[in-house]
Amino acid sequence: MSTTTAPRASLWQRVRPWLELQELYKHPVAQLPYILGAVLAWRLGGSLDWGLFFVGMVALFLLTDGTYVSNEYFDYENDSANDDRIGGAHQVGVTTTGGTRVLVQGLVKRRHALIFSVACFALAVPLGLWMQFRMDSGPLTLPLGALGIFVGWFYSAPPIRAAYRGWGEAFMAVGFGLIVFGAYYIQHGFSTVPLVVLLPWAVAIPALKILREFPDYEADVATGKRNLTVQFGRQRMAAVYSVMIVAAILLIAPLSRLVSAPAFLVALLPAILLIRSVVPMVRGQWRDKARLEAACASGFVGMLTIPLAMTIALLIGG
């Protein structure tokens, strides 16, 4: 009696699910505001400690990785029930919603994903200790890192599960917004300037979270994920999203005091894409799947270009 063995998966077939699980294509959401904070510190302080910059970036990468993977783990039931996600059953990219599908498809064991996530957070701790006590990054370094771990883990993990109680948007505003401040702080200490500069980013991040809740609405309702869109309904939150995006654009204005008029115009370029994402929401076209997907794509790219455009504006200065 002959037996057949399944062909062994190639190295790429084994590695690829792990790369997808980490959502590496979304890491610029954390890295770009970090670069913005560092460039702001350089522009105002005249110098940059490159050692601190790179160690901080590695620590941030680990915190972001831990956050993304833990979210995949704790969102497993919700992602399994999500048939209306942007991207369908298999497509994964910067504008898709409803997770990576890696755990849902069984490509990586859930237990392994959880271990990986915890390891990422744990590896960031000695880097934070080194930065504060050996590189003199300042006494707020560890508290800021601890806040990052808290927000990243409890965004979807029990007992808080912020994303399931309507607090997820606030967690994202704090977690991603303070990256700008943290990058500035480890270079030149406390200042209110980065707190002002980060405002458009801190408003745009939760706004986009609201927008991306629209295609996932039915799955969120079915699994008890009571985010703001589930609690208040898509009609109301379409208006809230529009107001928040307008506010984010207006909050870019203080940057005009730090750069020349031509440079400030560069900082305003994201407004084009952001407004494109608002128009279908105001018109009620979010009910059309194709228009909603287009709005989500414009909103995501527009949001991502906020720290990028502001960084370029600071670099060209004037």
Residue 14 lies in a domain: no
Residue 66 lies in a domain: yes
Query: Residue 13: is its pLDDT beyond 70?
Result: yes
Residue 20 lies in a domain: no
Which has more pLDDT, 90 or 45? 45
Boundaries of domain holding 40: 26-316
Contacts of 79 (CB under 8 A, 6+ apart): 72, 85, 98, 99, 101, 103, 104, 219
Amino acid at 5: T
pLDDT in tens, 281-293: 999 999 999 999 9
Residue 171 lies in a domain: yes
pLDDT at res. 1: 47
Could you give the number of structural domains in the chain?
Answer: 1
Q: How many residues does the chain have?
A: 318
Angstrom distance (rounded) from CA 83 to CA 96? 12
28-45 and 168-188 helices cross at what angle (nearest 10)?
A: 40
Q: What is the CA radius of gyration of the chain?
A: 20
Residue 11 lies in a domain: no
Give the pTM: 0.93
pLDDT at res. 4: 53
Residue 12 lies in a domain: no
pLDDT in tens, 163-181: 999 999 999 999 999 999 9
Residue 7 lies in a domain: no
Residue 18 lies in a domain: no
